[in-house]
């Protein structure tokens, strides 16, 4: 293996990265470097405590967190920047800074500084960067220059395909009798096919095809999982759970389990059950299946392969172990094998067996990310580091107490720690995070829906609706209204019954109110007779109208009825003015004013949600989730419209609407 005591290998594609090392006096094999679950998604998050790589960084980037990045190679053309240690640096240096953070841990915790620190080893450290098929030549040149220009004089960039080709020629072709080997590989959306000759009789042929690396079953599985969990909690937002659901779907499709009954942890900290049956998923047929078969056949024909009986198919990346790709790519080949640990280890052994050459020394000025002899930290800097570490512990403990049913104790812990932090300068970011956590405790939890009760109400509604329609047909309108109103009152006490409430209100609005008989006379109610002694009373004579003595018994009864009606009408407005919306709604129903009653019902039902938006605005200012904010703006606009129809003052909600529009 040559005279090096250790070697470091970075394996990289557009989507994943891994860090490994080989040590002469170790196990004589590649071992994953500490502080990572390699291979990990190629995403970075620059936090106060260092650079995070992998799944946590992906979640941070997808949620819009500052200083979190995915799609590293795509961002290189955007001239983006990131901030670390108070310095703003170009995005290309992000991979270098993240790698050096891992290298430092390697020298400190694996080699125990036996050969010195990173600064002592940078110039002579044997570093190999292994690139997958999707890394373009200009991107490989950038990776090489990035490390070389930073003082790594023994860095080389190699193509993994070249060593796959060597392994095929030296070992695989002897184990499996074949003339050629076709390799199918994917890690992102694109599918790459490669053709290798077993006797090095031609250079490898490599071609990528856009969007063929996506398993079409994945969206279907994600949809099934989402339908299972949304039935358990209708307040979940799909955009918040996409990463967790996508991972669960990928794990299932990569497994060979025929049936899965499992739980998934979502963003609210709760576990949700879901089940999947492979028999209903594996044989989904769509246009993608035809496309992937035709694409492979056309690629082989273009390169002279008509008969596949002496051609071996090797599946790598997410293609390996995936039944969809295996079923649609394997037919006709002499043998199909998947990349496993043995095959990868043997291929990587070819790489680490080679000497990493030394560059000719150049006179260059290297900007070291970290000073070799950093100045002594002040007492306040030490406190800042201690506070950052303590905050992670306090946050975890508070979350545990909240999940354990002790939210008051969790909230008090956060408030106590906030007071402690406010006495220290330089921890504004920690104070902001604590304040955000405290704000979450002030948001009222959504009511729990009892699905069994909903089903019971739905059964009752079918019976009540039929009974009410029967009353209407027989002319008993008041009985029909009474039956529907009684059921409506029961529904409004139960969360999750909005759809049923709307149906009942619609039925109520279809029942005409009892109208008094109108006089057919040309006289109007209140007309004075020419003799000056009589007044026309429209309600007299069974509604036909008649003259009555002014201030007589019938006339006085009519005046009292009108005054009473005016008072009742004023009662509704008065109740609204006092903020007694439920009483006002009931009053309007008693007056058969179903339109106004429905408006007030909608206001009552929406009021709590709109109030929650006031408490949560700071959280949305930080997350900047455009989809959710647009939905909230529409919700507030509809609420303001309802308030204006009911004559309620909506100025504070107009201000809230303006605040959300500014985000």
What is the distance, to the nearest Å, from the Cα of residue 281 to the centroid of all Cα atoms in its chain?
24
pLDDT band at 288 (very low <50, low <70, confident <90, very high): low
Task: With residue 53 as reference, give the H or E element that holds it.
Answer: strand 50-53
Residue pair 486/467 in contact (Cβ under 8 Å)? The answer is no
Which pair of structure tokens corresponds to residue 99? 């790698």
Quote helix, strand, coil % in the chain, to nearest 5: 50, 15, 35
34 dihedral zone (left: phi>0; alpha: psi -120 to 50; beta): beta
Which pair of structure tokens corresponds to residue 537? 């009373």
List the 335-338 sheet strands across, edge first: 205-209, 191-197, 180-186, 311-317, 335-338
Average pLDDT rounded to a whole number, residues 369-385: 55
pLDDT at 381: 66
Q: What is the pLDDT of residues 107-140, one digit of tens each?
A: 998 988 888 889 889 999 999 999 998 898 999 9
CATH topology agreement for domains 6-153 and 162-214+286-352: yes
Q: Output 441 or 192, whichever has higher pLDDT.
A: 192
Residue pair 278/258 in contact (Cβ under 8 Å)? The answer is yes
CA 38 – CA 54 distance, rounded (Å): 9
Residue pair 586/609 in contact (Cβ under 8 Å)? The answer is no
Return phi, psi of residue 243, to 5°. Answer: -65, -45
Average pLDDT rounded to a whole number, residues 639-663: 83
Q: How far lies 357's CA from each of 142, 161, 366, in Å?
A: 19, 21, 20
pLDDT band at 477 (very low <50, low <70, confident <90, very high): confident
Q: How far lies 285's CA from each of 221, 292, 328, 538, 547, in Å?
A: 14, 12, 11, 75, 84
DSSP assigned state of 172 = I
**Domain limits of the chain?**
6-153, 162-214+286-352, 217-280, 379-441, 551-663
User: Strands 87-90 and 205-209: what pairing?
Assistant: unpaired
Residue pair 214/189 in contact (Cβ under 8 Å)? The answer is yes
Q: What is the pLDDT of residues 2-58, one digit of tens each?
A: 678 999 999 999 999 999 999 988 777 889 998 778 889 999 998 877 888 988 888
CA 215 – CA 281 distance, rounded (Å): 11
Residue pair 133/192 in contact (Cβ under 8 Å)? The answer is yes
Return the exposure string of 323-357: e unless at least 16 CB atoms fall within 10 Å of the residue's CB, then b: bbbbebbeeebeebbebeeebbeebbbbbbeeebe
CA 104 – CA 366 distance, rounded (Å): 17
pLDDT above 90 coverage of the chain, percent = 14
- Which segment of 129-138, 141-150, 440-449, 522-531 scores lowest on mean pLDDT? 440-449
If we measure between CA atoms, which residue out of 317, 55, 43, 300 comes closest to residue 185? 317
Average pLDDT rounded to a whole number, residues 586-603: 81
DSSP 290-301: HHHHHHHHHHHH
pLDDT band at 382 (very low <50, low <70, confident <90, very high): low
Q: What is the pLDDT of residues 175-193, one digit of tens each?
A: 788 888 899 988 878 889 9
CATH number of 6-153: 3.30.420.40
Most confident segment among 317-326, 336-345, 613-622 = 336-345
Q: Where are the alpha helices (DSSP H) in 25-159?
A: 55-62, 72-75, 93-105, 118-121, 137-148
pLDDT at 539: 66
pLDDT at 132: 92
Q: Output 78 or 367, whichever has higher pLDDT.
A: 78
Place of tokens 């799944």: 55
Q: What is the pLDDT of residues 518-550, one digit of tens each?
A: 444 556 677 777 666 677 777 666 556 767 666
Whether residue 399 has pLDDT greater than 90: no
Q: What is the pLDDT of residues 605-639, one digit of tens each?
A: 788 777 777 777 777 777 777 777 888 888 888 88
What is the distance, to the nearest Å, from the Cα of residue 622 to the centroid of all Cα atoms in its chain?
16
pLDDT at 129: 96
pLDDT at 341: 85
How many Cβ atoms from other residues are within 10 Å of residue 470's Cβ?
13
- Which segment of 267-276, 470-479, 625-634 scores lowest on mean pLDDT? 470-479
Q: Average per-residue pLDDT in the chain?
A: 79
DSSP 105-121: HIIIIISTTTT--HHHH
pLDDT at 467: 83
- Which segment of 142-146, 172-176, 306-310, 637-641 scores lowest on mean pLDDT? 172-176
Whether residue 585 has pLDDT greater than 80: yes
pLDDT at 62: 79
pLDDT at 9: 96
pLDDT band at 569 (very low <50, low <70, confident <90, very high): very low
Rounded to a whole number of angstroms, the CA Rg of the chain reads 37
pLDDT band at 369 (very low <50, low <70, confident <90, very high): very low
373 in helix, strand or coil? coil
Average pLDDT rounded to a whole number, residues 184-211: 83
- Burial (CB < 10 A; 0-12, 13-18, 19+), residue 548, is buried
CA 252 – CA 627 distance, rounded (Å): 29
Task: With residue 487 as reference, give the H or E element that holds it.
Answer: helix 477-491
- Which segment of 44-53, 306-315, 377-386, 466-475 scores lowest on mean pLDDT? 377-386
pLDDT at 601: 83
Residue pair 314/308 in contact (Cβ under 8 Å)? The answer is no
Q: What is the pLDDT of residues 414-438, one digit of tens each?
A: 888 887 887 777 777 778 788 888 8
162-214+286-352 folds as: Nucleotidyltransferase; domain 5 (3.30.420)
């Amino acid at each position: 293996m040559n005279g090096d005591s250790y070697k470091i290998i970075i394996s990289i594609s557009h989507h994943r990265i891994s860090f490994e090392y080989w040590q002469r006096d170790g196990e004589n094999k590649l071992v994953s470097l500490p502080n990572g679950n390699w291979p990990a998604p190629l995403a970075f998050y620059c936090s106060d405590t260092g650079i995070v790589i992998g799944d946590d960084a992906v979640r941070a980037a997808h949620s819009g967190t500052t200083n979190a990045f995915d799609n590293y190679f795509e961002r290189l053309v955007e001239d983006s920047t990131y901030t670390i240690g108070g310095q703003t640096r170009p995005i290309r240096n992000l991979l270098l800074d993240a790698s050096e953070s891992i290298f430092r841990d390697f020298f400190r915790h694996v080699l125990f500084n036996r050969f010195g620190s990173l600064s002592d080893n940078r110039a002579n450290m044997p570093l190999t960067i292994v690139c997958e098929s999707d890394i373009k030549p200009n991107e490989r040149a950038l990776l090489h220059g990035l490390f070389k220009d930073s003082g790594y004089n023994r860095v080389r960039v190699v193509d993994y395909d070249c060593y796959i080709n060597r392994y095929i020629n030296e070992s695989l072709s002897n184990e499996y009798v074949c003339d050629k080997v076709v390799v199918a590989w994917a890690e992102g959306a694109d599918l790459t096919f490669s053709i290798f000759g077993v006797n090095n009789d031609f250079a490898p042929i490599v071609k990528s095809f856009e969007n063929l690396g996506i398993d079409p079953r994945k969206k279907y599985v994600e949809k099934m999982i989402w339908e299972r969990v949304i039935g358990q909690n209708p307040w979940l937002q799909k955009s918040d759970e996409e990463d967790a659901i996508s991972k669960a779907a990928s794990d299932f499709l990569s497994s060979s389990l025929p049936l899965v009954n499992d739980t998934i942890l979502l963003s609210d900290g709760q576990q949700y059950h879901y089940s999947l049956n492979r028999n209903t998923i594996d044989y989904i047929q769509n246009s993608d299946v035809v496309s992937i078969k035709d694409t492979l056949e056309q690629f082989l024909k273009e390169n002279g392969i008509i008969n596949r009986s002496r051609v071996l198919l090797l599946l790598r990346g997410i293609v390996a172990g995936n039944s969809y790709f295996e079923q649609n790519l394997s037919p006709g080949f002499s043998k199909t094998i998947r990349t496993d640990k043995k095959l990868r280890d043997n291929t990587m052994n070819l790489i680490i067996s080679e000497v990493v050459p030394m560059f000719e020394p150049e006179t260059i000025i290297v900007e070291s990310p970290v000073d070799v002899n950093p100045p002594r930290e002040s007492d306040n800097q030490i406190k800042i580091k201690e506070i950052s570490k303590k905050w992670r512990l306090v946050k975890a403990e508070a979350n545990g107490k909240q999940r354990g049913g002790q939210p008051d104790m969790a909230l008090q812990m956060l408030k106590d720690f906030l007071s402690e932090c406010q006495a220290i300068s330089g921890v504004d970011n920690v104070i902001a995070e604590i304040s955000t956590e405290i704000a979450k405790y002030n948001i009222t939890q959504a009511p729990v829906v009892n699905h069994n009760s909903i089903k019971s109400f739905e059964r009752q509604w079918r019976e009540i609706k039929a009974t009410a329609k029967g009353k209407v047909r027989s002319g008993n309108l008041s009985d029909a209204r009474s039956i529907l109103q009684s059921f409506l009152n029961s529904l409004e006490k139960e969360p999750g019954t909005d759809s049923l409430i709307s149906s009942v209100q619609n039925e109520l609005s279809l029942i005409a109110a009892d109208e008094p008989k109108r006089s057919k006379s040309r006289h109007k109610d209140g007309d004075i007779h020419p003799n000056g002694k009589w007044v026309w009373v429209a309600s007299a004579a069974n509604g036909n109208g008649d003259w009555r003595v002014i201030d007589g018994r019938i006339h006085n009864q009519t005046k009292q009825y009108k005054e009473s009606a005016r008072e009742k009408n004023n009662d509704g407005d008065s109740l609204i003015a006092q903020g007694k919306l439920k009483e006002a709604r009931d009053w309007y129903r008693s007056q058969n004013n179903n339109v106004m009653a429905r408006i007030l019902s909608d206001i009552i039902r929406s009021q709590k949600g709109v109030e929650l938006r006031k408490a949560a605005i700071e959280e949305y200012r930080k997350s900047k989730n455009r989809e959710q904010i647009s939905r909230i703006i529409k919700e507030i606009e509809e609420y303001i419209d309802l308030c204006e129809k009911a004559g309620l003052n909506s100025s504070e909600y107009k201000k809230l609407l303006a605040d959300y529009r500014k985000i």
